[in-house]
A and B are shown apart, each in its own frame.
Chain A
Amino acid sequence: MRTLVFIPAWNEAASVRAVIDDVRERLPDADVLVVDDGSVDATAARAREAGATVASLPFNQGLGAALQTGYLYALREGYDFCAHLDADGQHPPAEVARLLAEVYADRADLVIGSRYQDGVGGRSTGAEGADEPEGGADYRPTLSRRIGTSLFRFFLTLATRQRFTDTTSGMRAANRRVMALFSENYSPDFAEIESLQLAVRQGLRVEEVPVRMLERAGGSSFLTPLRSTFFIFKGMIVLLVGQFRPRRAEAER
């Protein structure tokens, strides 16, 4: 049984090495692939130094295309399972291990790490002092982020009839069925939300697992209020269009 952990990275030279080291420590059996999305800094070099395989896209293609590259690699190289996390240090690899446990146990095809879902036994607030190996501050969403999140949550739940709390989470684990689907169909524009809708519509078992996320180690969020509005608007259209895509049963006919 082989597992691939891939990390989409765009100009993350400052943090990618620490993330890889952490992944290798927490998931010693997994191979690590960094999908370098046309970085202009030393991201690829740092990743190689840390011992990861690097797939370098010749120019920046956006998160969706980068993630798809990872899924494609996992599928073609015959990995049984794959997981991905962000390169900015927001996603503790220890939590990725918990996502992978779900797909190993075949309880789901696609598992999403949710930073909002409750019931982690006080992971996000209570037991901080006792259990904080990463040493970062816990994730705290901004107001515009919260508005966008709840809107997407509402509409995605409406579209899929399944409850999702963290629709834009970039921490996921998947099996080969998901690799096959995402390596062919993955929107370059609106990766996270559309992929969830797609997976559910294709009859895959999608599950959310509450995880702890940290404040980003470096860099700032790309979301300004204007961009957020645009992002939300685009997301609505994507979801609406997605509702008219054929389901698997219809597509096979």
Chain B
Amino acid sequence: MTAAALAAAADPKVHLTSQTRILAAAIAVIFMAMILELIRRDKLQERYSVVWFVAGLGMLAGAAFPALLGVVADLMGVRDTNVALFSIILLLLLGLALNFSVIMSRQAAQITRLAQERALERAREEARSAENGREAERERL
């Protein structure tokens, strides 16, 4: 497989100039550094960062070994590597968006329950103090 991959590197259908590769690698590194910084500043929780790290690593891998792209394109049966690349990115983003919707739904449910608990707490207090007031009045009579 690796031999095939290396062979594919010489394949003219994967044509990334070293300039593009360096640029892509730099972007990937900066991207991952940004994620680390966000975690450090408590702006991003670790559990939501894993997926972004994987994306960053993927980017780096693509820059280091452009042949990988050719292999993936072959596996997909796509002749044009660029199309394969864009399809993969599109699918990844779609999956991420869905993932966020799921997280959002869960949090919405949690917020609702939190609001309900707070409302109930206060209602209970109110009912109890009303009860006490009535009792106090009865005692006074």
Chain A residues within CB distance 8 Å of chain B: 31, 33, 35-36, 53-59, 61, 65, 68-69, 72-73, 76-77, 188
Contacts and interface: CB of A to CB of B under 8 A. Distances in A.
A73 B126 CA distance: 13
A72 B117 CA distance: 9
* Dominant secondary structure of chain A at its interface with chain B: mixed
B13 interface: no
Contacts of B127: 31, 53, 77
B116 A56 contact: no
Contacts of A31: 127
Nearest to A188: B112
B79 interface: no
A58 B130 contact: no
A55 B119 contact: yes
B119 A33 contact: no
Nearest 3 CB-CB pairings of A with B = A55-B123, A55-B119, A53-B127
A155 B105 CA distance: 26
A53 B115 contact: no
B40 interface: no
A73 B115 contact: no
B126 A54 contact: yes
B122 A57 contact: no
Nearest to A68: B116
A31 B124 CA distance: 12
B123 A54 contact: yes
Nearest to B119: A55
B120 interface: yes
